[in-house]
Amino acid sequence: MSHCKGCGKRPEEIKEYRIAASESGETPEEFVRTEEGTYNPRTERFYCTACYIAAGMPLGIADRETPPGCVLVIKDGETNEP
Ligand SMILES: [Zn+2]
């Protein structure tokens, strides 16, 4: 079950998610999983709006434990030789 990384509340306990979820016919849990930009599917944590602001509006998902996945690996030396 997902919960906020900051305050530990579950989506059902956060009013804005209950309202938004009811408007789109989802449960608060489903809404956070599909719509909340800070939701981390691996750890099931997210930042609610209050905690997101308190945390300084971090980029990316909450509770990120590894570097961003799209690390560009550049192989050199094979085709750059004169
Ligand atoms: Zn929170």
pLDDT reported for residue 67: 52
Is residue 44 within 8 Å of residue 3, measured between CB atoms? yes
Cα atoms in the Cβ-side hemisphere of radius 13 Å centred on 46? 25
From the CA atom positions of the chain, what is the Rg in Å?
18
Residue 28 has pLDDT above 90, yes or no: yes
CA 6 to ligand 1 center in whole angstroms: 5
* pLDDT, mean over the chain: 84
Helical segments of the chain, H only = 15-24, 28-35, 49-54
CA 34 to ligand 1 center in whole angstroms: 17
CA 7 to ligand 1 center in whole angstroms: 4
pLDDT reported for residue 37: 93
Q: How far is CA 81 from each of CA 29, 73, 74, 75, 77, rounded to the nearest angstrom?
A: 54, 18, 15, 12, 6
